[in-house]
C-alpha cells in the first residue's frame, strides 16, 4: 500500500542521519524504535510495547531503590568505553552503592538533528551489550530530537530501579569515627582517558577508562562482612576521590585522614596528570568504589574486594576521624600533611 511505503524502507544505518521526524512521534519515530532500540535492547518487558513497562513485584522483604544519571560525556567514544556503556554502568553503580541489587533500567535519549545513525547504532549496541553483561535490562525508553546546534550528538539519561533487603542501611551519613576507608582499585583512569582523548594527547602507555558495572563487587563485599559493617559505599565519579570523600565527611559530620602513599594510582595516570596539570585525586572514576567500613571488619572487606576481578588493586587508604570542621586531610608522601578540599577552580566539564 502506498501509504505504508516510507515505513517499509529500512533505516540507512550506513549513511543516514537523525532528522527531526525521528523525534516527532509519528512513523519515523516508530521505525527508529523498532529497527534500532527494540531490537538492540530486546527483553520481555520492553517487548510489551506500551508507554511504560510492567515488571514483577520486588522480592519479599526488600525495599525499592531508585537512582538516575544524565550522561553528556564528550567525546562520545573514548578509550575503554562510550556514552552507551557508561550510561549503563553509571546508573547500575548508583543503585549498587545503596547496597541494592540493580534490576531494571530506563533510558531517555536526546538526539541532535544530523547525528550519524551509524554512531547512534554503535552507541545503542554498546549500551545493550553493557546492560546484558550486567544482567540489568533496559525495560522502557524515550527518544527526543532537537535541532542542530541545540544538542551535542546524544545525551542519555538512565534511571535504575533495584531491590535492597529491608534491614540493610548504607548511606553517606553513616561513617563513624574510627572506620576504615577502602578503595576498590586505582584512581583516575576514566577522567584521564576522556581528557586525553579530548585533547588528542597520546601517551606511551594507553590509559583506558575503568567504566564497569560494580554490582557483583558490591555483592561480594557485603557477603563477606556482617550486616552494618559497611557504612557507606560511593563511586567517586565527577570530582573524583577527593570530592566524594568530602561529601561523605559532610554528610556524616566527621573528618578523614588519608595516607597519600596508600592511594593506588597507575604510574601512567600520575604521569598524564603531571603533564596536564591535574590532580588524580580529582579525576573521575567509573568503575571504582569507596567503602567506609567498621575497622573490626576492614581486613575481611579488603580481602573480599581483592578477591574479585574488579577489586584486585583494592587498598586501605585512610581512617575516619573526629573533626568539627569535617576536613579531609592527607599525610603526603613527602611527610607533610594537607587538606584535600572539594573540587573547585577550573571545572572538568562533561566527564560523564
Residue 72 binds to a copy of itself (criterion: CB under 8 A): yes
Report the residue number, 27 or 312, with the smaller CB distance to a copy of itself.
27
Stretch that binds a copy of itself, among 126-134, 193-201, 312-320, 337-345 (CB under 8 A): 337-345
176 binds a copy of itself (CB under 8 A): no
Q: Please say whether the beta carbons of 62 and 165 come within 8 A.
A: yes
Of 39, 42, 166, 312, which one interacts with a copy of itself (CB under 8 A)? Answer: 166
**Binder of a copy of itself out of 11, 38, 58, 276 (CB under 8 A):** 58
DSSP H/E element including 160: strand 154-165
The closest alpha carbon to 95, from 75, 58, 116, 66, belongs to: 66
Residue 12 C-beta: closest distance to a copy of itself, Å: 18
Opening angle at CA 302, ends 67 and 270, nearest 5:
80
Half-sphere exposure of 6 (CA within 13 A, CB side): 9
| Number of residues in contact with a copy of itself under rule CB under 8 A | 92
Q: Does 160 bind a copy of itself (CB under 8 A)?
A: yes
Q: Does 14 bind a copy of itself (CB under 8 A)?
A: no
- Strands 290-293, 230-234: parallel, antiparallel or unpaired by DSSP? antiparallel
Q: Considering only CA atoms, which of 133, 73, 68 is closest in space to residue 94? A: 68
d(CA 284, CA 209): 9
**CA–CA dist 236, 187 (Å, integer):** 9
Q: Cβ closer to a copy of itself: 139 or 183?
A: 139
Part in contact with a copy of itself (CB under 8 A); list of ranges 91-99, 128-136, 208-216, 312-320:
91-99
Which residue from 346, 175, 185, 343 is spatially nearest to 269, judged by alpha carbons? 185
Q: Tell whether residue 1 is a contact of a copy of itself (CB under 8 A).
A: yes
Q: Cβ closer to a copy of itself: 155 or 294? A: 155
226 binds a copy of itself (CB under 8 A): no
Does 35 interact with a copy of itself (rule: CB under 8 A)? no
User: Which residues 6+ apart lie within 8 Å of 57 measured at CB?
Assistant: none
Quick one: which segment of 181-189, 208-216, 313-321, 344-352 binds a copy of itself (CB under 8 A)?
A: 344-352
CB burial of 29-63 (b: ≥16 within 10 Å; e: otherwise) equals bebbbeebbbebbebebbeeeeeebeeeebeeebe
The reply on whether position 167 binds a copy of itself by CB under 8 A is no
Q: Which of residues 251-280 bind a copy of itself (CB under 8 A)?
A: 251
Unique residue bearing C-alpha cell 556482617: 226
When asked if residue 286 is in the footprint of a copy of itself (CB under 8 A), the reply is no
Phi-psi region of 152 (alpha: psi -120 to 50; beta: other; left: phi over 0): beta
**Choice from 37, 41, 78, 104 touching a copy of itself (CB under 8 A):** 104
Query: Would you count residue 243 as binding a copy of itself (CB under 8 A)?
Result: yes
Q: Which is nearer to a copy of itself, 16 or 307 (CB)?
A: 16
68 binds a copy of itself (CB under 8 A): yes
Work out whether 234 is an interface residue with a copy of itself (CB under 8 A): yes
Q: Provide CB contacts within 8 A for 101, sequence distance 6+.
A: 95, 162, 163, 164, 215, 219
Contact 130, 85 (CB under 8 A): yes
Q: Determine, following the binding rule CB under 8 A, whether residue 117 of this chain makes contact with a copy of itself.
A: no
Q: Does 214 bind a copy of itself (CB under 8 A)?
A: no
Which range, of 97-105, 124-132, 214-222, 304-312, touches a copy of itself by CB under 8 A? 97-105
Q: Is 66 in the site for a copy of itself (CB under 8 A)?
A: yes
Asked if residue 8 binds a copy of itself (CB under 8 A), the reply is: no
Amino acid at each position: 500500500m502506498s501509504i505504508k511505503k516510507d515505513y517499509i524502507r529500512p533505516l540507512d544505518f550506513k549513511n543516514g542521519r537523525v532528522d527531526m521526524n525521528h523525534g516527532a512521534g509519528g512513523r519515523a519515530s516508530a521505525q527508529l524504535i523498532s529497527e534500532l532500540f527494540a531490537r538492540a535492547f530486546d527483553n520481555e518487558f520492553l517487548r510489551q510495547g506500551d508507554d511504560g513497562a510492567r515488571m514483577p513485584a520486588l522480592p519479599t522483604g526488600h525495599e525499592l531503590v531508585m537512582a538516575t544519571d544524565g550522561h553528556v560525556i564528550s567525546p562520545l567514544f573514548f578509550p575503554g568505553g562510550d556514552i552507551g556503556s557508561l550510561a549503563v554502568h553509571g546508573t547500575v553503580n548508583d543503585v549498587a552503592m545503596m547496597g541494592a541489587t540493580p534490576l531494571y533500567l530506563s533510558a531517555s535519549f536526546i538526539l541532535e538533528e544530523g547525528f550519524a545513525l551509524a554512531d547512534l547504532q554503535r552507541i545503542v549496541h554498546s549500551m545493550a551489550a553493557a546492560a546484558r553483561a550486567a544482567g540489568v535490562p533496559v525495560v522502557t525508553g524515550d527518544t527526543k530530537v532537537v535541532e542542530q546546534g541545540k544538542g551535542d550528538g546524544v545525551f542519555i539519561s538512565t534511571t535504575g530501579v533495584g531491590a535492597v533487603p529491608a534491614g540493610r542501611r548504607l548511606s553517606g551519613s553513616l561513617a563513624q569515627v574510627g572506620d576504615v576507608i577502602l578503595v576498590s582499585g586505582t584512581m583516575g583512569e576514566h577522567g584521564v582517558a576522556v581528557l586525553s582523548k579530548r585533547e588528542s594527547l597520546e601517551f606511551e602507555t594507553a590509559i583506558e577508562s575503568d567504566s564497569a558495572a560494580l554490582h557483583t563487587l558490591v555483592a561480594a563485599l557485603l557477603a563477606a562482612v556482617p550486616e552494618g559493617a559497611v557504612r557507606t559505599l560511593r563511586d567517586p565519579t565527577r570530582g573524583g576521590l577527593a570530592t566524594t570523600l568530602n561529601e561523605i565527611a559532610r554528610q556524616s559530620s566527621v573528618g578523614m585522614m588519608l595516607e597519600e602513599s596508600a592511594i593506588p594510582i597507575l604510574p601512567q595516570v600520575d604521569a598524564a596528570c603531571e603533564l596536564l596539570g591535574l590532580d588524580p585525586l580529582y579525576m573521575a572514576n567509573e568503575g571504582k568504589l569507596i567503602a567506609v567500613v567498621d575497622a573490626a571488619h576492614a581486613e575481611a572487606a579488603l580481602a573480599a574486594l581483592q578477591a574479585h576481578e574488579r577489586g584486585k588493586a583494592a587498598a586501605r587508604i585512610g581512617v575516619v576521624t573526629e573533626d568539627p570542621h569535617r576536613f579531609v586531610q592527607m599525610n603526603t608522601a613527602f611527610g607533610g600533611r594537607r587538606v584535600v578540599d572539594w573540587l573547585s577552580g577550573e571545572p572538568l566539564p562533561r566527564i560523564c
